[in-house]
Amino acid sequence: MNTLDYIIKLTNTPSPTGFTREIMDYVQQEVQSFGYQTTMTPKGGVMVSVSGANNSKHRMVTAHLDTLGAMVRAIKADGRIKMDLVGGFGYPSIEGENCQVHVAKNGKTYTGTILMHQTSVHVYKDASTAERNQTNMEIRLDEKVKSAEETKALGIQVGDFISFEPRTTVTESGFIKSRHLDDKVSAAILIKLLKSYKEENIDLPYTTHFYFSNNEEIGYGANSSIPSQVVEYLAVDMGAMGDDQETDEYTVSICVKDASGPYHYQLRQHMVDLAEKHAIPYKLDIYPYYGSDASAAMHAGADVRHALLGAGIESSHSYERTHMDSVVATEKMVDTYLKSEMLE
């Protein structure tokens, strides 16, 4: 499989934060099939440690596989479902989206659609103006249910996870449109690099820990699994696009600052130097309302140099889009960094 194949596979595997075992099992088994040993941490992340020529100083590189999602908040009298959001996004970004309800009690999955209660303009005067919030948004199940009792009879209960249909599409012009490109593009890149290193018998200059985290969207993905020898920590996530942003869909975005503060100056300049030396198209940017696994590690007290980069993602935390040019640039950037000499 190539990187695009992995992106399609990962985006089509439901994994809202807290409901990630299926995708973590898949990644662990896939990486093991390349010939690596892996470890699943107690909180469900997957660590792949690759021995390098220098074993006294280590690197760590992360991508996260958990996504935005929701949970059943309540079952309404008419059988429809109220939600509680998982991750940082707004109700308007999921209005009209198809979804799945994953039933803990019996393992079944039911489909539905996320809608405003006041959807029909032929019935509700405020259909266009009512606030999109937990009170007004609901899930219309694709089952013959008209009461709370009938919905509960399906096994559905408070706390069941809800995932959103990704609608992954690849255009002839090279665009990838899907939910959850944040951060499954990066995870696909790391899987592909691990595969290439085995197939091509590439030895990295430093022992490197590839960590696939499963709690990033709620703020603590990989901050408790950092080996003591790690001195450089790279989070491969997404580049945020919008007003006043330099990031685009065709380059790798190197973050200089997010909501947690500036990233390590010398390490991000090392990334810039590598990009310029190897003709990798890049943008420098600030993500004002953003946090990463690397910033979570810093908050947890990790004594490491930290950096953040990723593909440029349009409409983040909604129906997202990027271009293969950005994916290629990001993969080349991560590969080039992992093969480079460490800062002194």
What pLDDT does 144 receive? Answer: 98
What is the DSSP-derived secondary structure letter of residue 240?
E
In CATH, which superfamily holds the domain spanning 69-164?
A: Peptidase M42, domain 2 (2.40.30.40)
H-assigned helices in 246-343: 265-277, 293-299, 324-338
Per residue in 101-148, pLDDT (tens digit) is 999 999 999 999 999 999 999 999 998 999 999 999 999 999 999 999
Q: How many residues belong to the chain? A: 344
Contact (CB, 8 A) for 239 and 315: no
Percent of the residues in the chain that have a pLDDT greater than 90, as a whole number: 97
Q: Residue 248 annotated as binding?
A: no
Is 64 marked as binding a ligand? yes
Q: What is the pLDDT of residue 221?
A: 76
Catalytic residue among 30, 138, 216, 320: 216
Is it the case that residue 222 has pLDDT exceeding 80? no
For 274-292, what is each residue's pLDDT tens digit?
999 999 999 999 999 999 9
Mean pLDDT, residues 202-218: 96
Query: In the numeric block, which tokens belong to residue 240?
Result: 């945020």
Confidence of residue 224 (pLDDT cuts 50, 70, 90): confident
- Flag whether 243 is marked binding: no
pLDDT tens, position by position, 308-337: 999 999 999 999 999 999 999 999 999 999
Helix (H) or strand (E) holding 331: helix 324-338
Q: Is 152's pLDDT higher than 90?
A: yes
**Residue 91 — very low, low, confident or very high, per pLDDT cuts 50/70/90?**
very high
pLDDT at 219 over 90: no
pLDDT in tens, 226-273: 999 999 999 999 999 999 999 999 999 999 999 999 999 999 999 999
Peptide bond into 237 cis (omega under 30): no
244 assigned to a ligand binding site:
no
Active site residue 341: no
Bridge partners, residue 16, by sequence? 67
Percent of the chain with pLDDT strictly greater than 70: 100
Note whether 98 and 109 are within 8 A (CB): no
The class (CATH top level) of 3-67+180-338 is alpha beta
| pTM, entire model | 0.97
Work out the average pLDDT over 207-231.
91
Query: Is residue 166's pLDDT more than 90?
Result: yes
In angstroms, the CA 266 to CA 226 distance is 21
Determine whether the annotation assigns residue 237 to a binding site: yes
Where exactly are the structural domains of the chain? 3-67+180-338, 69-164
Tell me how far apart the alpha carbons of residues 231 and 325 are, in angstroms, rounded to a whole number: 30
Provide φ and ψ at 307, rounded to 5°: -145, 160
Averaged pLDDT for residues 65-94: 97
CA 133/CA 282 separation, integer angstroms: 38
Q: Tell me, what's the pLDDT at 225?
A: 84
Predicted confidence band of residue 177 (pLDDT cuts 50, 70, 90): very high
What local confidence, expressed as pLDDT, does residue 220 receive? 84
Q: Give 60's contacts (C-beta < 8 A, 6+ positions apart).
A: 208, 209, 211, 222, 226, 227, 230, 232, 233, 234, 304
In this structure, is the dihedral angle defined by the CA atoms of residues 94, 259, 283 and 302, taken in order, positive or negative? Answer: negative
